[in-house]
Amino acid sequence: MGAKEYDIAVIGGGPGGYVAALRAARQGASVCLFEADKLGGTCLNRGCIPTKALYGTARLQEQLRQAADHGFTLQGVSFDYAQAVARKDAIVDQLVGGIVQLLKSAGVDVFSGTAAFEAVNLIRFQCKGVVGRVKARNIIVATGSRSVRPKALAGDGKNILTSTEILAIKDFPERLLVIGGGYIGCEFASIFAALSCRVTIVEQLPRILANSDKQIVREVEKALAEREVEILTGVAVESLAVQEKGGVEARFAGRVETFDKVLVSVGRAPNSTGLNLDAAGVESVRGAISVDDHMRTNVPTIFAIGDVTGGVQLAHVASAQAGVAVDNALGGDRVYSGRVVPSAVFTLPEIAQVGLSEEDCKAQGIATSIGRFAFAASGKALCDGESRGQVKIVAEKDGGRLLGAAIVGEGASTMIAELALAMDQELTAAQVAHVIHAHPTLPEIVMEAAEDVDGLAVHKAGRRRT
């Protein structure tokens, strides 16, 4: 095959790659996209979306447990995990199909195969056994990340699983060991525990969800404990052994126990293997492609976005960086700051945060004022049967400018958007508090937490702060 030339070539079809391709095509550029697996990448096929589909199932189960409080008597209720998995797969297929159509309608040429650099502006790809080459004036690398697989905890894909493989199981485990108490491990622990699986979390660090606000995490820990999830921190799993009779024998904390399945979720690494970066002279550090604040590598016509850069591993970060990379590839001068990046963890209850935590500010010597308001004091939360949680706002001591926020509770992933926007616009807590919030709604909790920064929350006992 001869080498066809494009304005922009994108390697990787995840939330960074396909968004970059669409944005470039809609600005009139000729674009091609390479994807070795399925469009949508890890997020859509093996991460964000399928886990949230199962999360929706687990959340419904939690609501069913409250049925009696609402006057309902449920009899003969059963659960078919295989049907829940089928629902998950259907949602994924629908969204993948949507991306396929979007790329087609935008005129993006999609190549289903592996791609690697052969020179600065030349890509060699293999598609259905056929080798071809593509020239591009600019190239955007968006190959994401992969699950880390420690040798001591090597998986077999059937019993010892990564986050990808656990999404494919059809038989519901009675006992699950989760190795790693980060957001991936805790999401799966919450989902399976809600569906009546006995779960044990083992985390080497002193606490689970180490990157989240301590007070917010306590609410998640309480909820997990109520579902009889065992949490062991400061502990390492010494060995795993698949048993002939089934199950996995695990050694940790002086114990030997057998589990139906083991999830190894100890992190993700940049997925740059096989790109042949040296052929283009692209610099990387331990697999992470080095970029500047324009998302440009050391080679002016080559950009990289998302997890492969070794930065914050969030789908929406990759999508935001895609816009920056495309604009700059087409002659612009946009800068990606990453100053305000909201995140959400879909445990039960949800947690979400943006900006600095109270602990971050103390470590940096920043004087703060803290505002808090509990879901239990919200009429809407009580009506919904979701009284667990709180909104916490961190503001500068002098002036009240928002520095960060954390939320735990129903709808946390939605409510954090207001505070992210406020931070982006450098608003103060008082300015957020002065915005009229509809009643009765959960966002009123945000308003009252903002008022509480100055000791003015109407529905919270206490005196005005001096």
List, in order, residues 6 or more apart from 105 with CB less than 8 Å away. none
Q: Are the C-beta atoms of 392 and 407 separated by less than 8 Å?
A: yes
Q: Which residues contact 141 (CB under 8 A, 6 or more apart)?
A: 11, 12, 272, 275, 282, 289, 297, 302, 303, 304, 305, 308
- Peptide linkage before 173 cis (omega within 30 of 0): no
How many C-beta neighbours within 10 Å does residue 425 have? 10
| Rounded CA separation 235/237 (Å) | 7
Around Cβ 151, how many Cβ atoms within 10 Å?
5
Strands, DSSP E only, in 399-447? Answer: 402-409
- Distance between CA 373 and CA 459 in Å, rounded? 9
Element (H, E) at 350: none
Instruction: Please list, residue by residue across 99-116, b when 16 or more beta carbons sit within 10 angstroms of its beta carbon and e when fewer do.
Output: bbebbeeeebbbbeebbb
Task: Write the DSSP symbol of residue 358.
Answer: H
SS3 317: helix
User: CB-based burial of residue 90 (10 Å sphere; 0-12 exposed, 13-18 middle, 19+ buried)?
Assistant: exposed
Distance between CA atoms of residues 432 and 11, nearest Å = 41
Which one is catalytic: 294, 437, 439, 459?
439
Q: Is the dihedral of CA 399, 402, 404, 406 positive or negative?
A: positive
Which residues are CB-contacts of 387 (< 8 A; sequence separation ≥ 6)? Answer: 375, 376, 378, 381
CA–CA gap between residue 140 and residue 379 (Å, rounded): 49
Closest among 275, 292, 452, 435 to 377, alpha carbons compared: 452
Is 439 in the active site? yes
Question: By three-state DSSP, how is residue 147 classified?
Answer: strand
DSSP structural state of residue 359: H
Alpha-helical segments (H) within 106-241 = 163-166, 183-194, 214-226
CA dihedral 118, 123, 129, 130 (to 10 degrees): -100
Q: Give me the active site residues, please.
A: 439
